[in-house]
Chain A
Amino acid sequence: MQELLTQSWSWWFSGLVIAATMFVLLFFGRTFGFSSNMRTICSMAGAGKKVSFFDFDWKAQRWNLYFLVGSLIGGWIAGTFMNPNMPVQISEATISDLSLLGFSEPAGLQPDEMFGREAILSIKGFALLALGGLMVGFGTRYAGGCTSGHAISGLSNLQFPSFLAVIGFFAGGLLMTHVFFPYIF
């Protein structure tokens, strides 16, 4: 039992729970798609007065905000009560690749070089997080969904548009990792 709490969980269990999440939401009469919340929050903040894309009945989307609050709580539970303070178990090859870019060996789930206090208080560090967020937010709405809406919900329903979106996700990710990273870091 102790081990279950402190060690990391396997990929197949995680995959099953993600699929189960989608099914549970379907049985609640909803669709699994996390990034819709970003549009909803913009609308709640009053963006609908200026831009018609945000002028919709966001109250019908409240269920998804509750799901968002739940995932915040889930993260807190995992980080507070199930945190082994163990470094993430990534491959030696990745550790060695990242060391060439100036990243030290993992000490937790996230690199200090990206998310540590020193990084986010530097102009470059802050700009990278801001740029990453901008691209995720812009891209996900342009593509009409994120990993949950396209890669999980869309592919499960054999939607060709979602297949194209997932190709885009990977094309962009490979470009950033293999072409831009050496210039950024």
Chain B
Amino acid sequence: MQFLKFILAGTVFGIVMAKSEAISWYRIQEMFRFQSFHMYGIIGVAVVTGVIGVYLIKKLGLRDISGNPIVFLPKEKSVIRYLVGGSVFGMGWALSGACPGPMIVNIGYGYTALVIVFLFSLVGTFLYGLVMNRLPH
């Protein structure tokens, strides 16, 4: 039963991503062309709500359901990997119109062509693991 809550959280996430059209290639194009507020609204509300919530969790010292303190691990300090890796990701995001979550939601929705995108994202992940020691981080 442990896993059921994660399936349920994913299901809600998937329904909302699909119903708010955030999984649409067209919406991603519209965003990168600055022709609508829609995607900026989604990300903006999520981040503002997130910032307030994370602040409160820290301030109030909230604990998770097992009673452990909720900890936030700081991201590793660097510049190159975030800018370069981020840019490669961004090019793929604009081309395929889907980041990792929406790829899966799209496959469930019935856009099975995204299986190709997802399989190749696994190949891309593997390639990174293969060459990571030779890349600047």
When the two chains form the complex, which single residue of B33, B41, B113 contacts A97, counting CB atoms closer than 8 Å? B33
Could you tell me the dominant secondary structure of chain B's interface residues? helix
Residue tally, chain B, CB below 8 Å to A: 111
Q: Once the chains bind, are B122 and A38 in contact (CB under 8 Å)?
A: yes
Residue tally, chain A, CB below 8 Å to B: 124
Query: Contacts of A148 on B, CB cut-off 8 Å?
Result: 99-101
Q: C-beta contact mask, A96-123 vs B, less than 8 Å → 1, else 0?
A: 0110000000100111001110011000
- Whether a CB of chain B sits under 8 angstroms from the CB of A132 is yes
Q: C-beta contact mask, B61-99 vs A, less than 8 Å → 1, else 0?
A: 010111010101111111101111111111111111111
- Whether a CB of chain A sits under 8 angstroms from the CB of B46 is yes
Using CB atoms, name the residue of chain B closest to A47: B126
Q: Once the chains bind, are B45 and A169 in contact (CB under 8 Å)?
A: no
When the two chains form the complex, which single residue of B29, B51, B124 contacts A156, counting CB atoms closer than 8 Å? B51
Given A161-B76, A177-B33: A168 in contact with B85 (beta carbons within 8 A):
yes
Query: Contacts of B99 on A, CB cut-off 8 Å?
Result: 34-35, 136, 140, 146-148
Using CB atoms, name the residue of chain B closest to A111: B25
Q: C-beta contact mask, A17-59 vs B, less than 8 Å → 1, else 0?
A: 1111111111111010011011101100001000101100000
Using CB atoms, name the residue of chain B closest to A55: B129
User: Shortest beta-carbon distance, B48 to chain A, in Å?
Assistant: 8
Which parts of B17-48 form the interface with A (CB within 8 Å)?
17-33, 35-39, 41-47
Given A27-B65, A132-B92: A18 in contact with B86 (beta carbons within 8 A):
no
Using CB atoms, name the residue of chain A closest to B62: A27
Query: Contacts of A156 on B, CB cut-off 8 Å?
Result: 47, 50-51, 53-54
Q: Once the chains bind, are A165 and B86 in contact (CB under 8 Å)?
A: yes
Q: Once the chains bind, are A63 and B12 in contact (CB under 8 Å)?
A: no
Which A residues form the contact surface with B (CB < 8 A)?
8-29, 31, 34-35, 37-39, 41-42, 47, 51, 53-54, 62-64, 66-80, 82-83, 88-91, 93-94, 97-98, 106, 109-111, 114-116, 119-120, 126, 128-148, 150-162, 164-178, 180-181, 184
